[in-house]
Structure 1
Protein backbone atom coordinates (compact mmCIF):
# COMPACT_ATOMS: atom_id res chain seq x y z
CA UNK A 1 0.00 0.00 0.00
CA UNK A 2 1.33 3.44 -0.92
CA UNK A 3 1.04 5.98 1.82
CA UNK A 4 -0.10 9.50 1.01
CA UNK A 5 1.55 10.91 4.13
CA UNK A 6 4.93 12.43 3.50
CA UNK A 7 7.59 12.38 6.20
CA UNK A 8 8.05 15.64 8.05
CA UNK A 9 11.14 17.45 6.77
CA UNK A 10 14.07 17.78 9.13
CA UNK A 11 15.52 21.02 10.33
CA UNK A 12 17.34 23.28 7.90
CA UNK A 13 20.78 24.88 8.33
CA UNK A 14 21.78 26.71 11.48
CA UNK A 15 21.84 30.51 10.97
CA UNK A 16 25.52 30.96 11.80
CA UNK A 17 26.52 33.26 8.98
CA UNK A 18 27.72 35.80 8.20
CA UNK A 19 30.69 34.95 10.36
CA UNK A 20 31.51 37.64 12.89
CA UNK A 21 33.94 40.06 11.32
CA UNK A 22 34.74 42.11 14.37
CA UNK A 23 31.15 43.24 14.88
CA UNK A 24 29.67 42.75 18.34
CA UNK A 25 27.05 41.43 18.27
CA UNK A 26 27.28 39.77 14.84
CA UNK A 27 24.71 40.34 12.09
CA UNK A 28 23.17 36.89 12.55
CA UNK A 29 19.45 36.20 13.04
CA UNK A 30 17.84 36.10 16.45
CA UNK A 31 15.39 33.23 16.42
CA UNK A 32 12.44 32.76 16.45
CA UNK A 33 11.71 36.40 15.47
CA UNK A 34 14.32 36.47 12.69
CA UNK A 35 15.58 39.95 13.41
CA UNK A 36 19.25 40.94 13.29
CA UNK A 37 21.13 40.61 16.58
CA UNK A 38 23.17 43.73 15.83
CA UNK A 39 20.62 46.27 14.56
CA UNK A 40 17.15 44.77 15.14
CA UNK A 41 16.16 44.94 11.47
CA UNK A 42 14.44 42.01 9.74
CA UNK A 43 17.17 39.50 8.93
CA UNK A 44 19.02 39.46 6.59
CA UNK A 45 19.62 43.16 7.22
CA UNK A 46 21.57 45.26 4.72
CA UNK A 47 24.86 44.67 6.56
CA UNK A 48 24.26 40.90 6.74
CA UNK A 49 23.58 40.84 2.99
CA UNK A 50 26.87 42.60 2.27
CA UNK A 51 28.77 40.28 4.61
CA UNK A 52 27.12 37.18 3.14
CA UNK A 53 27.96 38.25 -0.42
CA UNK A 54 31.58 38.80 0.60
CA UNK A 55 31.78 35.50 2.50
CA UNK A 56 30.28 33.50 -0.38
CA UNK A 57 32.04 35.40 -3.18
CA UNK A 58 33.48 32.23 -4.71
CA UNK A 59 30.44 30.05 -3.97
CA UNK A 60 27.28 31.85 -5.10
CA UNK A 61 25.35 28.59 -5.51
CA UNK A 62 26.20 27.77 -1.90
CA UNK A 63 24.85 31.17 -0.86
CA UNK A 64 21.56 30.47 -2.67
CA UNK A 65 21.24 27.08 -1.00
CA UNK A 66 22.07 28.53 2.43
CA UNK A 67 19.50 31.33 2.01
CA UNK A 68 16.79 28.93 0.81
CA UNK A 69 17.38 26.72 3.84
CA UNK A 70 17.15 29.68 6.19
CA UNK A 71 13.97 30.81 4.45
CA UNK A 72 12.50 27.41 5.29
CA UNK A 73 13.58 27.75 8.93
CA UNK A 74 12.15 31.28 9.16
CA UNK A 75 8.83 30.10 7.72
CA UNK A 76 8.69 27.35 10.31
CA UNK A 77 9.49 29.69 13.20
CA UNK A 78 7.36 32.66 12.17
CA UNK A 79 4.29 30.63 11.25
CA UNK A 80 4.60 28.80 14.56
CA UNK A 81 4.66 32.15 16.40
CA UNK A 82 1.73 33.59 14.43
CA UNK A 83 -0.12 30.95 12.38
CA UNK A 84 -3.11 33.12 11.47
CA UNK A 85 -1.57 36.15 9.80
CA UNK A 86 2.08 35.39 9.17
CA UNK A 87 3.99 36.82 6.21
CA UNK A 88 3.05 35.79 2.69
CA UNK A 89 5.30 33.23 0.96
CA UNK A 90 6.34 35.83 -1.66
CA UNK A 91 7.58 38.15 1.08
CA UNK A 92 9.71 35.33 2.53
CA UNK A 93 11.20 34.67 -0.91
CA UNK A 94 11.90 38.37 -1.49
CA UNK A 95 13.46 38.76 1.95
CA UNK A 96 15.67 35.66 1.94
CA UNK A 97 16.38 34.56 -1.61
CA UNK A 98 15.48 37.14 -4.28
CA UNK A 99 18.28 39.57 -3.37
CA UNK A 100 20.89 36.81 -3.64
CA UNK A 101 23.34 36.14 -6.45
CA UNK A 102 22.38 36.39 -10.10
CA UNK A 103 18.65 36.69 -9.58
CA UNK A 104 16.34 38.01 -12.21
CA UNK A 105 13.58 40.23 -10.79
CA UNK A 106 10.53 38.26 -9.74
CA UNK A 107 7.60 38.73 -12.06
CA UNK A 108 3.92 38.34 -11.50
CA UNK A 109 1.71 36.51 -13.98
CA UNK A 110 -0.44 38.82 -16.13
CA UNK A 111 -3.93 39.51 -14.84
Structure 2
Protein backbone atom coordinates (compact mmCIF):
# COMPACT_ATOMS: atom_id res chain seq x y z
CA UNK A 1 0.00 0.00 0.00
CA UNK A 2 1.33 3.42 -0.90
CA UNK A 3 1.71 6.36 1.45
CA UNK A 4 1.15 8.62 -1.55
CA UNK A 5 -2.66 8.60 -1.42
CA UNK A 6 -4.78 11.70 -2.02
CA UNK A 7 -5.87 13.81 0.93
CA UNK A 8 -9.43 14.82 0.16
CA UNK A 9 -10.97 17.26 -0.57
CA UNK A 10 -7.78 19.23 -1.28
CA UNK A 11 -6.15 16.55 -3.44
CA UNK A 12 -2.67 16.79 -1.99
CA UNK A 13 -0.43 13.79 -1.42
CA UNK A 14 -0.46 12.29 2.07
CA UNK A 15 3.13 11.13 1.60
CA UNK A 16 4.86 14.27 0.35
CA UNK A 17 2.33 17.12 0.29
CA UNK A 18 2.60 17.69 -3.47
CA UNK A 19 -0.50 17.95 -5.66
CA UNK A 20 -1.88 14.45 -6.18
CA UNK A 21 -0.92 12.44 -8.16
CA UNK A 22 2.62 13.34 -7.13
CA UNK A 23 5.62 12.13 -9.15
CA UNK A 24 6.10 9.15 -6.83
CA UNK A 25 2.48 8.05 -7.15
CA UNK A 26 2.63 8.47 -10.91
CA UNK A 27 5.60 6.09 -11.06
CA UNK A 28 3.78 3.65 -8.77
CA UNK A 29 0.64 3.78 -10.90
CA UNK A 30 2.60 3.18 -14.10
CA UNK A 31 4.16 0.10 -12.49
CA UNK A 32 0.85 -1.14 -11.06
CA UNK A 33 -0.94 -0.78 -14.40
CA UNK A 34 1.95 -1.97 -16.58
CA UNK A 35 0.45 -3.56 -19.65
CA UNK A 36 -2.98 -2.08 -18.93
CA UNK A 37 -2.85 1.55 -20.09
CA UNK A 38 -6.60 1.72 -20.79
CA UNK A 39 -7.39 0.62 -17.24
CA UNK A 40 -5.01 3.26 -15.87
CA UNK A 41 -6.66 5.89 -18.05
CA UNK A 42 -10.10 4.92 -16.81
CA UNK A 43 -8.93 4.99 -13.19
CA UNK A 44 -7.33 8.42 -13.58
CA UNK A 45 -10.37 9.76 -15.45
CA UNK A 46 -12.55 8.71 -12.51
CA UNK A 47 -10.17 10.50 -10.14
CA UNK A 48 -10.40 13.58 -12.39
CA UNK A 49 -14.19 13.58 -12.14
CA UNK A 50 -13.99 13.42 -8.34
CA UNK A 51 -11.36 16.14 -8.20
CA UNK A 52 -13.37 18.49 -10.40
CA UNK A 53 -16.18 18.33 -7.86
CA UNK A 54 -13.84 19.12 -4.95
CA UNK A 55 -11.66 21.62 -6.82
CA UNK A 56 -14.41 23.43 -8.74
CA UNK A 57 -12.39 26.65 -8.62
CA UNK A 58 -9.45 25.11 -10.54
CA UNK A 59 -9.25 25.59 -14.33
CA UNK A 60 -10.40 22.48 -16.19
CA UNK A 61 -7.28 22.41 -18.36
CA UNK A 62 -5.02 22.42 -15.32
CA UNK A 63 -6.85 19.49 -13.77
CA UNK A 64 -6.86 17.60 -17.07
CA UNK A 65 -3.08 17.96 -17.38
CA UNK A 66 -2.60 16.99 -13.73
CA UNK A 67 -4.70 13.83 -13.86
CA UNK A 68 -4.44 12.69 -17.47
CA UNK A 69 -1.70 14.69 -19.18
CA UNK A 70 1.13 12.53 -17.87
CA UNK A 71 -0.31 9.24 -19.09
CA UNK A 72 1.58 7.44 -21.88
Instruction: Please report the TM-score for the alignment, with normalisation by the length of structure 1.
Output: 0.63
Return the structure number with greater helix share.
2
Unaligned runs of 5+ in 2: none
CA offset at residue 99 of structure 1? 0.4
Q: Deviations over 1:33-78 (max 9, x none)?
A: 0000000000000000000000000211000010011001001011
Aligned to 2:70: 99
Q: Does 1:88 align with 2:65?
A: no
Moved over 2 A (4+): none
Unaligned runs of 5+ in 1: 1-19, 80-85, 102-111
Residue 55 of structure 2: SS of its match in structure 1?
helix
Cα RMSD (Å)? 0.9
Instruction: Please report the TM-score for the alignment, with normalisation by the length of structure 2.
Output: 0.95
